[in-house]
Each structure stands twice: as structure tokens, then as C-alpha cells.
Amino acid sequence: MGVTKLQLEAVSVIAAIIVLAVLITYAVDQSVPNQLSRIPDQAAYDQGMETNAWIDWAMKMIIAVAVISIMGLELFEHIEISGYFRKKKAGE
Amino acid sequence: MAGAAEKFIERFSRIQVAVHITGALSILILYITGFPISFPEQLGWIPKILFGFPITMFIHRVAGVILLLTALITIIYHTLNAIFIREHFLRHVLPAKKDFSDIIADIKYTFGIGEEKPKYGKYSWMEKIDVYSVIFIDGIILGISGVILMMPFLFMKIIPIHLMLSFKSIHAGFAIISVVGILFHFYMAHLSPEHFPIDCVIFNGEMSIKEAEETHPEWVREIKDEGVVV
């Protein structure tokens, strides 16, 4: 078989991490059964929780700025790889 | 084509390769199981495939814990390395003055103003941005907000109750930024014409010296000076 010791070690470590994560999650679930994500927004609102309008607005702004920045970086990377301006300068 | 005598150097250690694979898979699972929670009307069909919302949520939390564990392993590994082996991983990753001059040189080169592409160290400025975005967005912001959402009644002792639901929008909002960032990372690492369809360096940890000299010449010079590569 073409299985190396390194591959076995890696699989063992990853399997151990997954088992540990399942156990931790299960233990947390048992001790705190009411995750916020399980509570519908209206029920949470009734308990005194509400979304903060200012935080919601700030999040939208952060998303917009971050996504535009990442798209800018992507465009820059694309121009660099294509070499458009360098080729244009060289008269190609 | 790789020649028989082609030499390779270690770009990523075994633990970095293992952590990357585990982290990447957990992030992928987090996207698949997380977005249907934020957008149930559009993506509600995904939990149906995964045997319902409770099981999808459980898988989401398990994947989140896996990601936090891999982050913990990374921190412990690099701390122990720095203390006992004096292998300073951070010296390659911390922002340096050279990164800022590289950004300017890179912009000039890309737009045909500069003649020469900057000579990158082990990680270029863009790769450093990539690393920091994963640390801050996926590790810190999504990690902390995820843990708060996982056990809200524990955190209500220190966080005002009226702010709790806002962690939902913070978690979902940064998840959108994260997926856009990972798509960019995917393009840079695997889908760009230089590496398409896949760059195996992150899977076997090795890079050919020829490629390293083309893409990260300053790093090759450094390790030649240290006597790692002759």
C-alpha cells in the first residue's frame, strides 16, 4: 500500500481534532442548551434582546468597504498577472 | 516540466500543512452550514439535505470548534518553536518597512512605470494581508462572536442583553467578508494562470528552488545565507 507514516500521522491528528471538537460541542450543548442561534429573533426580542441599529449600520458599511477593498486587490492582482500595462509600454 | 535533478526547499512545515488542511475544510463546512442560518429563505434547502436545522447547527458548531482548535495548535506550535528552537516564524509574517516599499514598487511595476518587480521575502505584502485577514476575521472576530452565540447566557453576565442579537449580525456580516476574502485567496493561490488548476505547495510543503527564486528571491537569498540551501 502507498500509505506513508506521515500521511497516517496527519490523518490521526486530524481525526483526533474532529473527535475532540465533537466532544467539546456536545459538552457545551449539554451545559448551555439555549444557543442564541436557536432562538428566533422575535422570541429573543421578547426577552429583551434587540438588534442595535447603529451596529447594524456599521456592519453594512464595514462589509461594503471590505468587499470593495478585496475586489480592488483582486483587480490589481489580475492586472499584474496579465501584464497589460507592461505590454502596452513595450509596444506589444 | 520538473527535471530529475530539480531541488526543493521547505516552504511550509508538516504542522502548517496539517493545520491548513484542517482549517480550510472546517471553514468550508462553516460556510455551507452557516449561510443557511442567516439566509434561510434562499438557502433553506441545504439544512434539508443535512437532516434539518438542529443537525446543521450542530455540524456548524463542531466545525467552529475545529477551527478554534487549529488556531490554538498554531499558536502553541509557534510559541514553543520560538522559545525552544528559536525559529522565529513571526519574522517572516510581521509587517516590515520593506512591505510598504514593496507595495509602491509593485504598483509602479504593475502599471508599467517601474522596471523591476520587487524582490519578495518568504511572504509578499499581499500574502501577509491574506494571513492577517484570516487571523483577524476568521480567527478573532468570527471566533469570539461564534463562541458568544454558542453560549449567550454565560456572556450575558458581562455583555448587556440588548447587544446580544447584534452579535448575530456581526457574525453573519464578517462571514460575508470572510467568504469574499477566501475567494480572493483561492484565486491567488490556485486559480491564477501561474498556478491553475492547483498549487501543491500547501499540500506537500515543498517548493522548487527555481520557482522560489522567481517568486520569492529575497527569501531564497536569506536561506542560502543561512546555509539551508547551497
Query: How far are the Cα atoms of A50, B61, B151, B164 from residue A38, in angstroms, in the given order?
Result: 15, 12, 11, 13
Q: pLDDT tens digits, residue range B194-230?
A: 888 888 888 888 898 998 998 899 999 988 888 766 5
Picking from B35, B151, B153, B155 by the largest number of A CB atoms within 10 A of its own CB, the best residue to mutate is: B151
The yes-or-no verdict on residue A44 having pLDDT over 70 is: no
B79 within some domain: yes
Q: Which of B39, B33, B26 is nearest to B58 (CA)?
A: B33
What pLDDT score was predicted for residue B2? 47
Query: How far are the Cα atoms of A36, A69, B20 from residue B106, in angstroms, in the given order?
Result: 46, 17, 28
Picking from B14, B16, B38, B61 by the largest number of A CB atoms within 10 A of its own CB, the best residue to mutate is: B61
Question: Quick check: A55 contacting B, CB < 8 Å?
Answer: yes
Q: What is the mean pLDDT of residues A81-87?
A: 85
How far does Cα A14 stand from its chain's mean position?
20
CA distance B128 to B134: 10
Q: What is the CA radius of gyration of chain B?
A: 21
The yes-or-no verdict on residue A41 having pLDDT over 80 is: no
CA distance B126 to B122: 12
Residue type, B220: V
B185 within some domain: yes
CATH at residue B175 = 1.20.950.20
How far does Cα B214 stand from its chain's mean position?
23
B208 within some domain: yes
B51 within some domain: yes
Give the range of the structural domain holding residue B219, as residue numbers without chain letter: 8-225
pLDDT band at B191 (very low <50, low <70, confident <90, very high): confident
Rounded (to 5) percent helix, strand, coil in chain B: 70, 5, 25
B140 within some domain: yes
| B40 CA: distance to closest CA in chain A (Å) | 12
What pLDDT score was predicted for residue A90? 80
Q: pLDDT tens digits, residue range B37-93?
A: 888 888 989 989 988 888 898 899 999 999 999 998 888 888 888 888 776 667 788
B220 within some domain: yes
Residues of B in contact with A88 (CB under 8 A): 112
- Contact (Cβ atoms closer than 8 angstroms) between residue B190 and residue B199: yes
Cβ atoms < 10 Å from Cβ of B157 = 6
B1 within some domain: no
Residue of A9, A18, A35 lying closest to B150 (CB–CB): A35
Q: pLDDT tens digits, residue range B7-16?
A: 888 888 888 8
CA distance A59 to A57: 5
Cα of first residue to Cα of last residue in chain B, in angstroms, is 22
Angle at B93 between CA B27 and CA B202, to 5 degrees: 50
Secondary element (H or E) of residue B191: none
Name the domain count of chain B: 1
Interface confidence, given as ipTM, is 0.76
Q: Which of B33, B180, B175 is nearest to A59 (CA)?
A: B175
Residue of A35, A49, A63 lying closest to B176 (CB–CB): A63
How far does Cα A68 stand from its chain's mean position?
17
Residue type, B40: P
Q: pLDDT tens digits, residue range B119-149?
A: 999 999 999 998 899 889 998 999 999 998 8
B230 within some domain: no
